Structure 1
């Protein structure tokens, strides 16, 4: 009886961890989706068949994974309380499938190291072309880029020359204010931008993806450890419930 109680407590702890991790993934996905100033917003509207859509829609992936983990955590806790063999077995199977998928995903990430960097290089021409033809004309694109450049202190995809001959450049005779190292509200003049050394948003986006990749990897390892422990405990409770039946 004491052993069974201890296992239930451990099941609660493991599934509580899974539930919280899922809630964290869910919150991060929602934040990325609603954050109009996110660096990932720079890639919206770019059509590319080399995996770019996976970066743009990473928010949906996080929301889906987070929701799944929340449901699993809840199911595991209910199964432990009721000592339902059906719920415990269902929990074990679902967690096992997710664990296998996570392992497969990790193998793919290791096999295609630097994939994000390659994708960002592949879309460079299209992004720069859009800036030169639409920045200053397309209100949505202009707003997203202006907000992001101001927030992350970057200029263009590679540098200020991405805005040369753009509608903004032709209309104002200058460049976005973010391209100046000086405090400029809206327009940075050619003489000012040439003396400034503002990095392109390409580098900022790479840093953003790399930093968050490390966080995601750490969370994934923690979740994997919790999943293994939860599967072991769920099978022990499953067998004990079977003996009583």
Structure 2
């Protein structure tokens, strides 16, 4: 009868030990954000009308699942437990299937997501000319964005600011009027380019990063599936 390969066994253990540590780290950070005063201030400052704890709760669930799968993989490898290895295989396979489905749905609904992004940006234009407290948080975010990306306004340029222009023009002030990217608006030299194109580019770059991470995770998960099934079969053949 063939024995269990020590190389596969310890590779499986190391892989899942790192997997388990990642789960603990994600879970610890998410719980800290959820319960600590500093963490609550962070998510409160980042919230924009939606429930600020939704993303944190998702992170807690993800961290817990990764930690459990890592534990099953480690123990299954070291104890040569076919039951634990099978549970690990099934759990990892379900995650991989969900990732693939999410990728397919993301590709299928990309035009719809682009439309929603456009509608959201155009609807948020009116917030720039408002004076209530809820609008000020968004206005502050856009002023910081304007300073970093050298743009002005959201969709239509400086006119988007309405009566609030003189309060916020400093963030999109253009120092060199000889520059073709600058215009004069209400006696102030500001950037002509609205921020909508930069926001779209930023969203596109983040999507590419997410796709890259998801692809990398898929490769690691497939390796984990292969290792666990090979070890599962070897234990059965002992």
Q: Do the structures match in fold with TM over 0.5?
A: yes
User: Out of 190, 197, 204, which is 2:192 matched to?
Assistant: 197
Unpaired runs of 5+ in structure 2? 34-38, 177-183
User: Out of 215, 220, 223, which is 1:221 matched to?
Assistant: 215
- Taking the aligned partners of 1:239 and 1:126, their CA distance within structure 2 comes to 58
User: Out of 70, 95, 98, which is 1:98 matched to?
Assistant: 95
Cα distance, 1:147–1:196 mapped onto 2, change above 3 Å:
closer
- Taking the aligned partners of 1:213 and 1:59, their CA distance within structure 2 comes to 20
Deviation at 1:121, TM superposition (A): 1.0
- Taking the aligned partners of 2:203 and 2:26, their CA distance within structure 1 comes to 16
Deviation at 1:241, TM superposition (A): 3.0
User: Out of 76, 80, 91, which is 1:79 matched to?
Assistant: 76
Q: Cα deviation per residue 1:18-75 (whole Å; 9 max; x = unaligned)?
A: 56876898899989x94889xxx5x8238xxxxxx9xxx6676566545533543343
Deviation at 1:108, TM superposition (A): 0.9
- Counterpart mapping for 1:39-188 below 5 A: 44-45=48-49, 64-65=61-62, 68-134=65-131, 138-158=135-155, 159-165=157-163, 168-169=164-165, 173=166, 175-182=168-175
Deviation at 1:106, TM superposition (A): 1.1
- Counterpart mapping for 1:19-30 below 5 A: none
- Maintained 8 Å contact 1:17/1:226: no
State the Cα RMSD in Å. 4.0
Residue 236 of structure 1: aligned partner: 230
Scaled by the length of structure 2, what TM-score is found? 0.71
The count of aligned residue pairs is: 220
- Maintained 8 Å contact 2:4/2:234: no
Residue 180 of structure 2: aligned partner: none
- Taking the aligned partners of 1:208 and 1:28, their CA distance within structure 2 comes to 26
Cα distance, 1:121–1:138 mapped onto 2, change above 3 Å:
closer
Deviates more, 1:153-162 or 1:218-227: 153-162
Cα distance, 1:137–1:100 mapped onto 2, change above 3 Å:
closer
Residue 49 of structure 1: aligned partner: none
Deviation at 1:110, TM superposition (A): 1.7
Residue 6 of structure 1: aligned partner: 7
Residue 203 of structure 2: aligned partner: 209
